[in-house]
Amino acid sequence: MIRYSRLMAALLIVLLLEACGNTPLQKTKTNAETTGNQLNASVVENGKQLFLQYRCVQCHGEDGMSGMIDLSNVAAKYSEDQVKTWIANPRAMNPATGMPAFNMLNDEQLNGLAQFVRSIKKK
Binding positions for ligand HEC, rule: CB under 6 A = 54-56, 58-60, 69, 71, 73-74, 77, 83, 86-87, 94, 97-100, 102, 113, 117
**CB proximity list for 37: less than 8 A, separation 6 or greater:** 79, 80, 118
Cα–Cα distances in angstroms (integers) from residue 43 to residues 54, 84, 114, in the given order = 16, 14, 9
CB of 90 to ligand HEC, least distance (A): 6
CB nearer to ligand HEC: pick between 38 and 49: 49
Q: Cα angle vertex 122, ends 90, 116, to 5°?
A: 45
Kindly tell me which of 39 and 74 has the beta carbon lying closer to ligand HEC. 74
Measured at CB, which residue is nearest to ligand HEC? 56
Q: Return the H-helix or E-strand segment holding 47.
A: helix 41-53
CB of 69 to ligand HEC, least distance (A): 4
Nearer to ligand HEC, 43 or 74 (CB): 74
* Distance of closest approach, residue 45 Cβ to ligand HEC, in angstroms: 15
Number of helices followed by number of strands (H, E) in the chain: 7, 0
- Please state, in angstroms and rounded to a whole number, the distance separating the CA atoms of residues 106 and 6: 53
Shortest reach from residue 117's CB to ligand HEC, in Å = 5
Residue nearer to ligand HEC on the CB measure, 46 or 60: 60
Question: What is the H or E stretch that residue 12 is in?
Answer: helix 2-35
